[in-house]
Amino acid sequence: MRRLVILVLASGVVIGLVSCGGARSGKQARPADFQSMVQVPAGEFVMGRQGGAEDEQPERRVTLDEFYIDRTEVTNAQFKAYCDATGRLYPSNPMWDADYFLANPTYPAVNLTYDQARGYCEWAGKRLPTEAEWEKAARGTDGRIYPWGNAWADSAANLTSILATDSYERAAPVGSFPKGASPWGALDMAGNVWEWCADWYGLDYYAQAPAKNPPGPAGPTPWRVVRGGGFSSPKSDAETSNRSKNPPEQAIHHLGCRCAWSPR
């Protein structure tokens, strides 16, 4: 992606325009909203969970290159900018609010198919995270159960109202639960809306996956990976190792996305 960047001094004086992007080797051009991303340093982390669901096993050590991930889920305002710039249709409103998309700019964009989520990220100079990147962004390196630690904490995530530990029956503005931040500062990795990952879903993929930068199964399979649970989820969906899946063409009112980016 090639674009013009305005150079501005600390004094606020514009000193010029440069064209950047386009090069695909070496250092990559930073996305325009780089400041809204958090860094996940290169190295090993614990992925999966011994004693967890069948598809979370075996627990293993996985090494990833450095990457950045959006601090929050993609908002309605961000997704609207993409639609307006490209002529794409706005996503459907969820059944509970006919004005959801336009009247709630700080809420997460929902009812996105996989291609819509990927299209947004690519337009923004980014990409969907791999499943491994998503899990490392959510749990850090120590294999913790929730983004904030191993013990359940009230008011740390927007999950089902049956839990009565948060004040939202449905979606909340992104970043409403700072107590639930992951070790890198990513918010709502547990709850609010489920998030598309780049990978095809494979139930037994962990048993065969490479230990470095696993890209997901070659596919196609009937599903893409979704992660993190949503506002109608129980606690178990919000565990950092929990895996789920969705047909790529199916848009759901509790499924959105966030984007990742690699510096090289």
Which of 209, 257 has the CB closer to Ca ion? 257
Which of 75, 158 has the CB closer to Ca ion? 158
Residue 250 three-state SS: coil
Which of 129, 209 has the CB closer to Ca ion? 129
Residue 2 bridge partners (DSSP)? 21
Angle between helices 76-86 and 114-123 (to 10 degrees): 80
Which of 191, 248 has the CB closer to Ca ion? 191
Instruction: Verify binding: residue 70, Ca ion, rule CB under 5 A.
Output: no
Instruction: Verify binding: residue 158, Ca ion, rule CB under 5 A.
Output: yes
Residue of 131, 188, 199, 237 interacting with Ca ion (CB under 5 A)? 188
For residue 170, the minimal CB distance to Ca ion (Å) is 7
Instruction: Verify binding: residue 166, Ca ion, rule CB under 5 A.
Output: yes
How many other C-beta atoms lie within 10 A of the C-beta of residue 163? 16
Instruction: Verify binding: residue 232, Ca ion, rule CB under 5 A.
Output: no
Instruction: In whole angstroms, give the CA distance from residue 61 to residue 141.
Output: 9
Distances from the Cα of 131 to the Cα of 53, 128, 144, 216, angstroms: 16, 9, 16, 7
**Count of residues interacting with Ca ion (CB under 5 A):** 8
Residue of 192, 233, 244, 246 interacting with Ca ion (CB under 5 A)? 192
Instruction: Verify binding: residue 248, Ca ion, rule CB under 5 A.
Output: no
Instruction: Verify binding: residue 147, Ca ion, rule CB under 5 A.
Output: no
Which of 175, 209 has the CB closer to Ca ion? 175
Residue of 228, 244, 251, 257 interacting with Ca ion (CB under 5 A)? 228
3-state SS, 75-136, equals: EHHHHHHHHHHHCCCCCCCCCCCCCHHHHCCCCECCCCCHHHHHHHHHHCCCECCCHHHHHH
Choose one: 116-124, 165-173, 202-210, 245-253; the region binding Ca ion (CB under 5 A). 165-173
Residue 154 · residue 120 · CB < 8 Å: no
Q: Tell me what percent of the chain is helix, strand and coil, each rounded to the nearest 5.
A: 20, 20, 55
Q: Which helix (H) or strand (E) holds 208?
A: helix 205-208
Which of 83, 193 has the CB closer to Ca ion? 193
For residue 80, the minimal CB distance to Ca ion (Å) is 19
> Footprint of Ca ion on this chain (CB under 5 A)?
158, 161, 166, 168, 188, 192, 228, 231
